[in-house]
Chain A
């Protein structure tokens, strides 16, 4: 059986934080933190191969077996529902999925609520449970602009500090779900590389417990 384990990490700030957890767990790579365009990093001494991919693509890499394990936000798991194992809440990248609107917003229940979002399934599920009819406006960035320009009544989006919302005179009206980074695993790879994946998971779990 293969001794290598491949890990899909999200590019960007979350990926940097998570990589440092992997390094502390005993799976370092000297090259990964250097600035550059390299996307694959191998550490033969600990049998780990890191891939840096777009955060929303991590579940696809893992579900399709291109990576054995990976790290992505629970927002991505909630939206795409990939068929993967969700081994650990890494308790980092903490934020929330929230409903926000202009400060003076009042819901007009006589018509469908216009919701701008990057997460259409999450928005539909949330309002579906409330029995509220919605019109989803799917955007891929600058979601906060939608209510300001009258494109939507509300937005469903990730809120970390709330600074962008405040600067655009928006406020949070409800929390859809708390969000954090999760360690995920391919269902088949987990079976054939279980000892190594569980050792790594245990090391990461210890770090999350130390932070409590």
Chain B
């Protein structure tokens, strides 16, 4: 056994360590042994990291794509369970174009839970994300954002009743938040004629401290400050806040390094609830990314909910 382990390079060793972790938690191995139709990716191009794909025609004249992603294939091959959950883990090479326009083969590993994704299931996904990071480096942090809360607060500060103006304003707020740009946020709030209270609320979202207890305390005040307006959105946001509070508290009690960070992006067409990214000290970009993606399931005509994450092995030092 030692002889085999000694023959593995660093990436192979990581792949096996992560796979054994996921198998211990009852995840079944998913192998993408066929190429999916191009149409699957074309219809869901917004979900992909890059919409530039390598395509080819198979012997039956069907246009196929050379594995740009694994999640869409896992969904397509799931049973769309309403009761119970299917848990998959994978390790695949995916093919994506880099910033220089060159296609690269990238090693990716990860998990997907498809079915009835309840709080316990989501907590397990986050625990495995933290454990995966821990296996890669002792100096890691799992950064979490919550899209129900974020959409509610951003929506309340966007003012206008005109849908297209509201969309543009929300986009400007999200851009400033994702860049942690206080100046950009002030400019966007002033352009939208948002009041001082809304402007301060938006800045507070950028400035949330790294200490979870303090951050949650501030977020709770920001939520409670919002007026009731006869819609259910405040109640929904408070419910999401309580879930977030429980999740963060459970992860912290288990000793995982987490932080609440609304600069983590999440496309609300596909993602809902908690989205997250993992970082390692000394690695310049996130090495893990995931979240709950019920929206993607709906866009693919599925009734089940889903959550998961991918570890980008090519980004490891």
**Tally of A-B Cβ pairs under 8 angstroms:** 52
> Is B180 a contact partner of A190 (Cβ separation < 8 A)?
yes
Contacting residues of chain B (141-187) with chain A, CB-CB under 8 angstroms: 141, 143, 179-184
Residues on B with beta carbons closer than 8 Å to the beta carbon of A191:
141, 143, 210, 259, 279
> Is B183 a contact partner of A188 (Cβ separation < 8 A)?
no
Residues on A with beta carbons closer than 8 Å to the beta carbon of B280:
188
Residues on A with beta carbons closer than 8 Å to the beta carbon of B283:
65, 188
Check if A189 is an interface residue, CB within 8 A of chain B: yes
A178 nearest CB across to chain B (Å): 10
Residues on A with beta carbons closer than 8 Å to the beta carbon of B182:
87-88
B141 nearest CB across to chain A (Å): 5
Residues on A with beta carbons closer than 8 Å to the beta carbon of B263:
85, 187
Q: How far is the CA of A189 from the CA of B285 in the complex (A)?
A: 9
> Is B284 a contact partner of A188 (Cβ separation < 8 A)?
yes
> Is A63 a contact partner of B180 (Cβ separation < 8 A)?
no
Residues on B with beta carbons closer than 8 Å to the beta carbon of A89:
183
Known: A85-B263, A89-B183, A194-B210. A63 touches B284 (CB 8 A): yes
Check if A83 is an interface residue, CB within 8 A of chain B: yes
Known: A1-B139, A194-B210. A189 touches B183 (CB 8 A): no
Partner of A86, one of B143, B184, B279, B286: B184
B61 nearest CB across to chain A (Å): 38
Contacting residues of chain A (132-186) with chain B, CB-CB under 8 angstroms: 185-186
Q: How far is the CA of A32 from the CA of B108 in the complex (A)?
A: 44
Q: How far is the CA of A208 from the CA of B284 in the complex (A)?
A: 29
Check if A127 is an interface residue, CB within 8 A of chain B: no
Chain B residue at minimum C-beta to C-beta distance from A180: B183
> Is B183 a contact partner of A187 (Cβ separation < 8 A)?
no
Q: How far is the CA of A185 from the CA of B283 in the complex (A)?
A: 14
Check if A17 is an interface residue, CB within 8 A of chain B: no
Check if A64 is an interface residue, CB within 8 A of chain B: yes
Known: A1-B139, A85-B263, A194-B210. A188 touches B285 (CB 8 A): yes
A179 nearest CB across to chain B (Å): 13
Contacting residues of chain A (62-113) with chain B, CB-CB under 8 angstroms: 63-65, 83-89
Q: How far is the CA of A97 from the CA of B195 in the complex (A)?
A: 30
Chain B residue at minimum C-beta to C-beta distance from A208: B183
> Is A65 a contact partner of B284 (Cβ separation < 8 A)?
yes
Return the CB mask of B44-87 against A: 1 if under 8 Å, else 0: 00000000000000000000000000000000000000000000
Interface centre among B143, B263, B284 (most CB of A within 10 A): B284
Q: How far is the CA of A192 from the CA of B137 in the complex (A)?
A: 13
Partner of A192, one of B139, B179, B184, B286: B139
Check if B281 is an interface residue, CB within 8 A of chain A: yes
Q: How far is the CA of A186 from the CA of B279 in the complex (A)?
A: 12
A25 nearest CB across to chain B (Å): 17
Chain A residue at minimum C-beta to C-beta distance from B280: A188
Chain A residue at minimum C-beta to C-beta distance from B187: A89
Q: How far is the CA of A190 from the CA of B181 in the complex (A)?
A: 13
Residues on B with beta carbons closer than 8 Å to the beta carbon of A188:
279-281, 283-286
> Is A86 a contact partner of B281 (Cβ separation < 8 A)?
no
Residues on B with beta carbons closer than 8 Å to the beta carbon of A1:
139, 281
Interface centre among A85, A88, A190, A191 (most CB of B within 10 A): A191
Contacting residues of chain B (250-280) with chain A, CB-CB under 8 angstroms: 259, 263, 279-280
Return the CB mask of B121-148 against A: 1 if under 8 Å, else 0: 0000000000000000001010100000
Known: A191-B143, A192-B139. A86 touches B179 (CB 8 A): yes
A39 nearest CB across to chain B (Å): 20
B260 nearest CB across to chain A (Å): 12
Q: How far is the CA of A65 from the CA of B286 in the complex (A)?
A: 12
Q: How far is the CA of A187 from the CA of B141 in the complex (A)?
A: 12
> Is A192 a contact partner of B281 (Cβ separation < 8 A)?
yes
Residues on B with beta carbons closer than 8 Å to the beta carbon of A192:
139, 141, 279, 281
Chain A residue at minimum C-beta to C-beta distance from B283: A188
Residues on B with beta carbons closer than 8 Å to the beta carbon of A64:
284
Interface centre among B179, B263, B279, B281 (most CB of A within 10 A): B179
Interface centre among B139, B141, B183, B259 (most CB of A within 10 A): B183
Question: Can you name 13 A-B residue pairings with CB atoms under 8 Å?
Answer: A1-B281, A84-B179, A85-B180, A86-B184, A87-B180, A185-B180, A187-B279, A187-B284, A188-B279, A188-B285, A191-B141, A191-B143, A194-B210
B contacts, CB < 8 Å to A: 139, 141, 143, 179-184, 210, 259, 263, 279-286
A contacts, CB < 8 Å to B: 1-2, 63-65, 83-89, 185-192, 194
Query: Which 4 pairs, one residue from A and one from B, show the smallest C-beta to C-beta distance?
Result: A65-B284, A89-B183, A85-B180, A86-B181
